Chain A
Amino acid sequence: MQQPMSHWRGLLAARLALGLVLLYLLIPLAATLVFGLSGGHGWGDLSALSAVFGDPDFWLTLLTSLGLAAGTTLLVVLLLTPTVYQVRLRLPQGRFLLEALALLPFAVPPIVLGTGLLQEYNGAAASSPLVALLSLGLVPLLSNVFPLLDIPLLLVCAYVIVALPFAYRAIDNSLRAVDVRGLTEAAASLGAGWWQTLLQVILPNIWPGVLTAALLTFSTVMGELTLASLFNTYTFPIYLNMTGQNDPHRAALLAVLSFLLTLFCVLGMVPGSRLQAGAGRAALPGQIEGAGLR
């Protein structure tokens, strides 16, 4: 009789702990929502909400941030996935360098990164022969031939650097769990080229990691303030910050909207990753499950 009692106690304690964690996470969010909706003429007044949606700056900044986040995510995934795969396959000794590079952004605060990039590409430094030499001619080319400062591409590049540590870890960990060499050689023996192998064999097996990398990059960009300010780009976090200084109720609603937006992104990505992970369990030698015949 004692065993079931302890079992129920354990279950109750677990549920209690889970409830407490959920309360800890949800109470501030609910309070923010309540505060946002209580602006103007008391509780339930949706005028603040309609004011948010009626503000052209809201849509402008939201679309700008979404565009930047989508661009950064795309660039991160397109740059990192083939690179990490290729390094793991052909240059295992280069992994150390890649890991060091991926950790570097942690040591450089965004304000330093932003200032450095602006200094580098603003024309004065770009014309320096030393910079031209060290960058193998890329900086003068990018700053003079392609006016990077006029377009958000430089900001996207800066965001790629900021998101690099998280994205690299996610993709590299996924590749580590896969027999990259074996699968690549098996695909090659069946006639698959490099891209076919990456897209049809490797990518489906590291999909959860790539999705995690994309999600982390997306949410990082959606909440980034420092670099956007330095680059003079009017993004959603800047709009949120400015609104908060004038109208705290509207800022509270914007914060909840921002959270919901990120949540939808997560919910959109998680089922895909779970589906892939379910089908793509690693088949290791000796691993037998549901085997009837031999």
Chain B
Amino acid sequence: MAFLELQELTKSFGKTRAVERLSLEVERGEFLTLLGPSGCGKTTALRLIAGFEQPDAGRILLDQEEITTRPANRRPMGMVFQSYALFPHMTAEQNIAFGLRLRRLPSALIRQRCEELLALVGLAERARSYPHQLSGGQQQRVALARALAVEPKVLLLDEPLSALDAAVRVTLREEIRRIQQQLGMTVIYVTHDQEEALAISDRIAVMARGRLEQLGAPEEIYRRPRTVFVAGFVGASTRLSARLERAAEGRCRLDGILLRVPPQPELSDGSAVLLVVRPELVTLRQLDEASSAAADGGPGQEQENALSGTVELRTFLGAVTRFRVRAAGGQLFTVDLPGLQAGTLVPGQRVLLSFPPEACLVLPLEETGSEVAALPEWPPAAAGQPGPEREPQPEHA
């Protein structure tokens, strides 16, 4: 029996279905992240768990006890908000003590607990500061300590790092993870930042349009996305629509080019599929004039899953350099090469790109192709990173 159970939770606002038949099980001491784009229903799901919204249907069980209709102030949960929501008229210490005072604990115990928590979040010297005297990161630490003070059974965090700058975000997320592991706390964390989710979670629940798309460990979500949406939303990738020629042998055709993919015995020959290739699994080799001409004569025929193409964009990302390469057939590939391998490859250069069959993830596609059309753009506009902005759209005979 799971520690926290969501059973078929449904919530609508007017005609908008925010959460649709969401079922989830969270184990004691687990760090679960609800990940998805804006409007996918992740925050609504968290608010249903917190008791700030009432579900239209479904049940919430905590420690085998139903809490679906229990008011928020009687649920054993702590919450950290994106806007911090610290009480402006109270000092950091008073904010932390608020929940403890409501429980009428002895003053000495409250003081001791506040000191412990301030030390835990590294703010022992700012106990008497008011929220407006603290930086955003410090305010969020106080908010975290305040939520932890009442020793909740489940800690809920609603995009707690979104309002902070990048460097503070990374530091604070590591601290949240450290504290969660130190206290063995059950945490449900909401974010739209996939990197954040992959970095700190035990499991990730990817949501889209109010539904749960996939639930799994970060590695599983990244390496084996089960839906087209998850493949598009989590991590950078090259996505190619192709058609299986011999499913059992793992042969498929992409715009006239034969590609090898892992065998797909459960799919039938002729099925429309989406091939997902992570950028770090593709290799690039510079083509000289002679080999370039040979490659033009029959792209990728000598080598398995090899296509000739032209570098369109080179972006230095620190640990890796990202290339956007247009293959001879018009497909756009995103390729990440470690610093040294990136070498002298520059835009306009002819290259041979290749990837092993096992690098291809094969996802069955609807015949309409609407799944691909609905894929989120990668990278998100705000991230400002390069990537296959215009992925090849599926073509169906």
Stretch at the interface among B98-106, B180-188, B279-287: B98-106
Are B102 and A192 interface neighbours, CB within 8 A? yes
- Given A179-B85, A196-B102, A204-B89, A283 and B132 contact (CB-CB distance below 8 Å): yes
The residue in chain A whose Cβ has the minimal distance to the Cβ of B171 is A294
Which of A179, A200, A294 has the largest count of B CB atoms less than 10 A from its CB? Answer: A294
Are B72 and A294 interface neighbours, CB within 8 A? no
- Bound complex: CA A251 to CA B130 (Å): 50
Instruction: For the complex formed, measure the closest distance between the CB of A289 and the CB atoms of chain B, giving whole angstroms.
Output: 5
- Given A280-B88, A291-B135, A191 and B130 contact (CB-CB distance below 8 Å): no
Are B82 and A285 interface neighbours, CB within 8 A? yes
- Bound complex: CA A144 to CA B188 (Å): 59
Q: Within 8 Å CB of A187, what residues of B?
A: 73, 87, 98
- Given A188-B73, A191-B102, A285-B83, A290 and B133 contact (CB-CB distance below 8 Å): yes
Are A283 and B139 interface neighbours, CB within 8 A? yes
- Bound complex: CA A12 to CA B171 (Å): 53
Chain B, interface SS category: mixed
- Bound complex: CA A288 to CA B72 (Å): 31
- Bound complex: CA A91 to CA B110 (Å): 36
| A281 lies within 8 A of chain B by Cβ | yes
| B146 lies within 8 A of chain A by Cβ | yes
- Bound complex: CA A279 to CA B129 (Å): 10
The residue in chain A whose Cβ has the minimal distance to the Cβ of B150 is A190
- Bound complex: CA A183 to CA B95 (Å): 11
| A182 lies within 8 A of chain B by Cβ | yes
Are B102 and A282 interface neighbours, CB within 8 A? no
Q: Within 8 Å CB of A4, what residues of B?
A: none
What mask results when residues 131 to 144 of chain B are scored 1 for a CB within 8 Å of chain A, else 0? Answer: 11111111100010
Partner of A282, one of B88, B123, B134: B88
- Bound complex: CA A294 to CA B166 (Å): 12
Q: How many residues of B contact A (CB 8 A)?
A: 46
Instruction: For the complex formed, measure the closest distance between the CB of B349 and the CB atoms of chain A, giving whole angstroms.
Output: 43
Instruction: For the complex formed, measure the closest distance between the CB of A209 and the CB atoms of chain B, giving whole angstroms.
Output: 14
Chain A, interface SS category: loop
New contact pairs (9) apart from A283-B88, A283-B134, CB-CB < 8 Å? A179-B85, A188-B73, A189-B79, A191-B99, A283-B132, A285-B83, A285-B136, A289-B133, A294-B171
- Provide a sorted-by-A list of 21 A–B residue pairs whose CB atoms are within 8 angstroms: A179-B83, A185-B52, A185-B85, A187-B73, A187-B98, A189-B78, A189-B147, A190-B73, A190-B78, A191-B102, A191-B150, A192-B98, A196-B102, A284-B83, A288-B136, A289-B133, A290-B129, A291-B134, A293-B122, A294-B135, A294-B171
Chain B positions near chain A (C-beta within 8 angstroms): 50-52, 71-74, 77-79, 81-89, 98-99, 102-103, 122-123, 126, 129-139, 143, 146-147, 149-150, 156, 163, 168, 171
Across chains A and B, which 7 residue pairs bring their CB atoms closest together, nearest first?
A283-B131, A190-B99, A291-B135, A285-B163, A280-B89, A186-B85, A189-B79
